[in-house]
Amino acid sequence: MLLCLKILFLLWLINFAPPLLAHLLGQKWDNPVDAGRLFKDGKPLFGPHKTKRGVLAGVATGLMVGWLFGFPAWVGFSAGLLSMSGDVLSSFIKRRLDLPAGSAVFGLDQVFEGSFPFIVLAPYGSLKPLNVIILTVLFIVVAYSGSRFFKEVLLSKPYEHYPRKLNSWVRFREFRACQITSHPLHHFVNFEDAFYYHFVMKWCFRALGLYRRGMRNALQIEVTHINFDFEELPPAFDGYRILFLTDLHLDGLEGLTEKLQTLVGNIQADLCVIGGDLRMETHGPFSRALSLMRRLIPAIHAKDGIFGILGNHDCLEIIEVLQKEKITFLVNDAMAVERQGERIWFVGVDDPHYYRCEDLEQAFRGVGEEDFAVFLAHSNEVYREARRYGPKLYLCGHSHAGQIQLPPFGPLFTHSRAPRRYSQGKWHYQGMLGYTSCGAGVSGVPLRFFSHGEVALITLNRKSSGRKKRAADAVL
């Protein structure tokens, strides 16, 4: 019985090795086995999905895993080689049947890959024909299920107008965070976050008697007034006011939405920018966050409308819902705002932190070198890349100013790959100005210590205009 289980897991891991390597490496070293050659019937010999990288991965897995399972090296190596030979034979047959490369066919895709290794495994383990048949059938069922998951979940668009480039890493993250929201499985595949925040962190603060104080601190949200001066700002936009709301996490703290309604309801802005992260969790349902966002939107007064970008807590599915609420999402896209024949650009990218789907080249397409541009990203982590495209201002959030700070050290964690000096407030990098908001809401645990939430009102001023700057309280 133990030998049969070892053989099954050996074969499954050999089968799993090529797609795993494709998932990890993408198109790197994916040279086809047939080098693009055609058979005498004019069709591809094996097709582009059978790569040298994949064959080597299968053979190497057979050798290494076989050794770990106690098989002689020649048995593990031979099992890997025979399995990959069977896989290539299946591709050869599929090309003759005009089946497209990458298509999943139950049985045909697995039968040779699963049965060929028994040329060496059956004699070595003294397996009876019935044992071989049962093990082959079990291999086929599990291998086919894994293939369907890889191709139909990780290598396919979840819906027709999917805006991201298809990438198995991104699709896996979306699957964890967004595609299993109503199933208990989402707690299992996000175990690290669920355990760390909901057990360790909450228990620690409750044990210290600080939990309620931290929640009260989190509701102490301020309206922060920030001025930026630019010589290049078009005169028509002198005094232009941007209401910057980011890291709302509306479903994570009772009373937060009502507090924000009161604060933003007293602000008259030219444009509102939603900087991402509407949901508290990084996984699970987002319907409550959307419901609360619908309640907040009517309180926003912005003459030029509302722009939104995606954060690492957000799902693409929120875009269609919130577009009906008159929010224009910039997903690697740019939008110009015009006044008196002049314009400034707002350039927004997809989440650069968790999904890492930012595409600055696409986002800045159409924005001229001399155009005044404000760059919008959920986090500060692409400041170097952004500078190359010449925006005058970079607006971001994500860090929550650490949310929990330790004076005089500052934030315990910034959850960013960028240097700490870019994690809060104003900053600059090689002539590009930036502002990292503390965020309005809270993430992980609904607490703040030695930091505060904020609603940021950013005013763009033209240096050479000579106009008197607007007083901060004139807009309240």
Residues 206 and 345 in one domain: yes
Strand partners, 268: 301
**Residue 458 in tokens:** 């950013």
Residues 326 and 380 in one domain: yes
Q: How far apart are the first and last CA of the chain?
A: 76
User: Is a pLDDT exceeding 50 seen at residue 474?
Assistant: no
Burial of 379 (C-beta count, 10 Å sphere; 0-12/13-18/19+): buried
Confidence category of residue 105, pLDDT binned at 50, 70, 90: confident
pTM above 0.85, yes or no: no
Neighbours of 132 (CB within 10 A): 17
Residues 250 and 150 in one domain: no
- What distance in Å separates the CA atoms of residue 155 and residue 49, rounded to the nearest whole number? 13
Q: What percent of the chain has pLDDT over 90?
A: 76
Answer whether residue 444 is part of any domain. Answer: yes
Answer whether residue 188 is part of any domain. Answer: no
State the pLDDT at residue 465: 46
User: Is a pLDDT exceeding 50 seen at residue 470?
Assistant: no
Residues 129 and 235 in one domain: no
**Residue 191 in tokens:** 């175990």
Answer whether residue 177 is part of any domain. Answer: no
- What distance in Å separates the CA atoms of residue 401 and residue 187, rounded to the nearest whole number? 27
Residue keyed to tokens 């002539």:
431
Range of the domain at 312: 201-475
Q: State the pairing for strand pair 393-396/405-406.
A: unpaired
- What distance in Å separates the CA atoms of residue 160 and residue 177, rounded to the nearest whole number? 19
Residues 107 and 237 in one domain: no
Report the Cα 120 to chain-centroid distance in Å. Answer: 44
Residue 229: name the closest of 469, 396, 395, 422 by CA.
469
Residues 131 and 35 in one domain: yes
CATH number of domain containing 360? 3.60.21.10
Answer whether residue 184 is part of any domain. Answer: no
Residues 355 and 245 in one domain: yes
Answer whether residue 182 is part of any domain. Answer: no
Q: Give 127-151 pLDDT, tens digit per residue.
A: 999 999 999 999 999 999 988 888 8
State the pLDDT at residue 168: 85
Residues 119 and 18 in one domain: yes
Report the Cα 471 to chain-centroid distance in Å. Answer: 40
User: Is a pLDDT exceeding 70 seen at residue 182?
Assistant: no
Q: Give 395-454 pLDDT, tens digit per residue.
A: 999 999 999 999 989 998 899 999 999 999 999 999 999 999 999 999 988 999 999 999
- What distance in Å separates the CA atoms of residue 69 and residue 64, rounded to the nearest whole number? 9
- What distance in Å separates the CA atoms of residue 33 and residue 14, rounded to the nearest whole number? 17
DSSP code of residue 253: S
Residues 414 and 279 in one domain: yes
Q: Give 210-251 pLDDT, tens digit per residue.
A: 999 999 999 999 999 999 999 999 999 999 999 999 999 999
Average pLDDT over all residues of the chain = 91
Contact 404, 211 (CB under 8 A): no
Residues 244 and 320 in one domain: yes
Answer whether residue 195 is part of any domain. Answer: no
Q: What is the mean pLDDT of residues 195-216?
A: 80
- What distance in Å separates the CA atoms of residue 51 and residue 413, rounded to the nearest whole number? 42
Report the Cα 256 to chain-centroid distance in Å. Answer: 26
State the pLDDT at residue 111: 95
Contact 205, 447 (CB under 8 A): yes
Residues 260 and 364 in one domain: yes
- What distance in Å separates the CA atoms of residue 25 and residue 18, rounded to the nearest whole number? 10
For 436, residues 6+ apart whose C-beta sits below 8 A from its C-beta are 380, 396, 397, 398, 399, 401, 422, 423, 424, 425, 427
Q: What is the mean pLDDT of residues 60-65?
A: 96
The answer, yes or no, to whether the previous bond of 408 is cis (omega within 30 of 0) is yes
Answer whether residue 176 is part of any domain. Answer: no
**Residue 39 in tokens:** 């058979």
Q: Which of 103, 136, 156 is the last residue of a domain?
A: 156
Q: What is the mean pLDDT of residues 296-311?
A: 98
Number of domains composing the chain: 2
Residues 289 and 217 in one domain: yes
Confidence category of residue 466, pLDDT binned at 50, 70, 90: very low
Q: Give 341-360 pLDDT, tens digit per residue.
A: 999 999 999 999 999 999 99
**Residue 247 in tokens:** 């890291």
Strand partners, 455: 223
Confidence category of residue 192, pLDDT binned at 50, 70, 90: low
- What distance in Å separates the CA atoms of residue 474 and residue 68, rounded to the nearest whole number? 72
Q: What is the mean pLDDT of residues 284-289?
A: 92
Answer whether residue 161 is part of any domain. Answer: no
Q: Which of 100, 133, 156 is the last residue of a domain?
A: 156
Residues listed for the chain: 476
Dmax of the chain from CA atoms? 93
Q: What are phi and psi of 368, to 5 degrees?
A: -75, 160
Q: Which of 156, 181, 209 is the last residue of a domain?
A: 156
- What distance in Å separates the CA atoms of residue 114 and residue 197, rounded to the nearest whole number? 43
